[in-house]
Amino acid sequence: MDRDKILLTPGPLTTTLRTKLAMLRDWGSWDSQFNAVTAQLRSRLLEIVHAGKTHTVVPLQGSGTFAVEAAVATLVPRDGHVLVLDNGAYCKRAAKLTQLMGRRATVVEFDEAEAVSVSRLEAALAADASVTHVLVVHCETGTGVLNPLEALARACEKAGKGLIVDAMSTFGALPIDARTLRFDALVAASGKCLEGVPGMGFVVVREEALRRCAANSQSLSMDLHDQHAYMERTGQWRFTPPTHVVVALNEALAQYEAEGGQPARLARYSANCATLIGAMRDLGFEPFLREELQAPIIVTFHAPADPNYEFRRFYEMARDRGFILYPGKLTQLETFRVGCIGAIGPNEMRQAVEAVADVVRTIGLRRMGRAS
């Protein structure tokens, strides 16, 4: 197969040729032209969530998890107390990094097949006044479940608590409006729904909150307050920036704007998701989540009950046909995941399911219902 394999994962993603070509030029990290790209990129990111009047963007070298860790370390005082709403693997990761940063963390657990509960959040905040911040994952990509961000934000604002949102898999695709939704930090990354390449995280931070964060972080490289202050003063990154990643993301954002921005991106991903689920159901595969909880980002499917099914073989055969799937992230059930995001459309989703159908025939799978 001549084309690159289609990445049906939650990131890295399939990117356009234009985005790839943007990385063929070398840039000086302190050069005025690169500084201009950084400034334009930061402005574009703020516009996506209508945050220009109240927030700033602090980019950071590294993965999205780096940026979540930086947000916690910077925004939460060392004697702060974070309430983590946990309905999946990435929520658990957020709780772990909070504790590793030396902050107190309380975890409110939910079933992986359910969205987090606003009423339970309200009860937890009422029961413990020491909580200073709430951390929530907007789309828990361990399953694909969408959590009710707007209602959670209202509860946090009413209780006077800071809100840190892991929007890694929703930023740029699902509507988020800082004019009506109050948050201290919204964390995302280059290699997700903006369809850049991995290597840069960023945090949309409420400026009022950031001003109070000097000396909170015990990390030199992950101090968003210092990163922001230096960038505002000089236009430069404090340490060597991922220049090719930054330029590729800026090019990807130009394409994002030309496509029609967030509404158009959501429409394409929703069409991808509907195409995928419908075609996979026709083959006998069963989605893990109820329809009303499913975000159009990544879909978890139950593994077939057929004794001939083994994920590694299934994965490799799908890869040989040009499509990269993703393993499951659940602890109690065997599943696999198929992403709906990236520079792909419903046609690629249909091709992917045709490849899966060929794998099913080749292996001889007959019992497609969920494994017990």
Considering the domain architecture, whether residues 47 and 163 belong to the same structural domain is answered as yes
Question: Which phi-psi region, left, alpha or beta, contains residue 34 (left: φ > 0; alpha: ψ -120 to 50)?
Answer: alpha
State residue 2's pLDDT score.
54
State residue 73's pLDDT score.
97
Retrieve residue 63's tokens. Answer: 């993965």
Considering the domain architecture, whether residues 268 and 179 belong to the same structural domain is answered as no
- CA distance to 24, 67, 194, 224, 254, per residue, from 16 (Å): 14, 25, 11, 31, 12
What lies within 8 Å, CB to CB, of 54 at 6+ separation is 178, 179, 206, 207, 208
Task: Tell me which of 194, 224, 258 is where a domain ends.
Answer: 258
Considering the domain architecture, whether residues 252 and 265 belong to the same structural domain is answered as no
Considering the domain architecture, whether residues 248 and 268 belong to the same structural domain is answered as no
Considering the domain architecture, whether residues 222 and 291 belong to the same structural domain is answered as no
Q: What is the band of 252 on the pLDDT scale with cuts at 50, 70, 90? A: very high
Q: What is the band of 372 on the pLDDT scale with cuts at 50, 70, 90? A: low
The answer to whether position 61 is within a domain reads: yes
**How many domains does the chain contain in total?**
2
Question: Which phi-psi region, left, alpha or beta, contains residue 319 (left: φ > 0; alpha: ψ -120 to 50)?
Answer: alpha
**What's the order of all strands across the beta sheet hosting 104-109?**
55-61, 200-206, 185-189, 162-166, 133-137, 81-86, 104-109
Q: Are 64 and 192 in contact (CB under 8 A)?
A: yes
Considering the domain architecture, whether residues 218 and 285 belong to the same structural domain is answered as no
Domain that holds residue 304: 6-10+260-363
Task: Tell me which of 206, 228, 258 is where a domain ends.
Answer: 258
Q: Are 231 and 58 in contact (CB under 8 A)?
A: yes
Considering the domain architecture, whether residues 143 and 228 belong to the same structural domain is answered as yes
Nearest CA-CA partner of 84 in 59, 64, 103 = 103
**H runs (alpha helix) in 109-206:** 118-127, 149-159
Angle, helix 311-320 to helix 346-363, in steps of 10 degrees: 120
Considering the domain architecture, whether residues 221 and 275 belong to the same structural domain is answered as no
Retrieve residue 351's tokens. Answer: 């091709």
Give the C-alpha separation, 81 to 35, whole Å.
Answer: 37
| Residue 10 predicted with pLDDT over 80 | yes
Q: What is the band of 371 on the pLDDT scale with cuts at 50, 70, 90? A: low
Nearest CA-CA partner of 153 in 123, 176, 173, 171 = 176
Q: Poorest-confidence range of 105-119, 143-157, 356-370?
A: 356-370
Q: Are 328 and 295 in contact (CB under 8 A)?
A: no
Report the CATH number at residue 115.
Answer: 3.40.640.10
- CA distance to 134, 135, 162, 167, per residue, from 131 (Å): 8, 11, 9, 21
Give the number of C-alpha atoms closer than 13 A to the C-alpha of residue 347, restricted to the C-beta side. 2
Q: Write out pLDDT tens, residues 88-117.
A: 999 999 999 999 999 999 999 999 999 999
The answer to whether position 371 is within a domain reads: no
State residue 74's pLDDT score.
98
Task: Tell me which of 243, 258, 273 is where a domain ends.
Answer: 258
pTM for the full model?
0.96
Considering the domain architecture, whether residues 31 and 141 belong to the same structural domain is answered as yes
Question: Which phi-psi region, left, alpha or beta, contains residue 246 (left: φ > 0; alpha: ψ -120 to 50)?
Answer: alpha
What lies within 8 Å, CB to CB, of 95 at 6+ separation is 84, 86, 105, 107, 135
Q: Write out pLDDT tens, residues 149-180.
A: 999 999 999 999 999 999 999 999 999 999 99
| Residue 23 predicted with pLDDT over 50 | yes
Residue 343 is classified by DSSP as S
Residue with tokens 């959501």: 266
The answer to whether position 220 is within a domain reads: yes
Q: Stretch 187-200: mean pLDDT, rounded?
A: 98
Considering the domain architecture, whether residues 203 and 338 belong to the same structural domain is answered as no
| Residue 1 predicted with pLDDT over 50 | no
Report the CATH number at residue 356.
Answer: 3.90.1150.10
Stretch (H or E) spanning 326:
strand 326-327
The answer to whether position 115 is within a domain reads: yes
Q: Write out pLDDT tens, residues 229-249.
A: 999 999 999 999 999 999 999
Nearest CA-CA partner of 135 in 111, 104, 113, 114 = 104
For strands 298-302 and 81-86, give the pairing. unpaired
The answer to whether position 20 is within a domain reads: no
Considering the domain architecture, whether residues 89 and 190 belong to the same structural domain is answered as yes
What lies within 8 Å, CB to CB, of 355 at 6+ separation is 318, 321, 322, 323
Considering the domain architecture, whether residues 150 and 175 belong to the same structural domain is answered as yes
Stretch (H or E) spanning 349:
helix 346-363
| Residue 345 predicted with pLDDT over 50 | yes
Give the C-alpha separation, 279 to 357, whole Å.
Answer: 10
**Higher pLDDT, residue 209 or 333:** 209
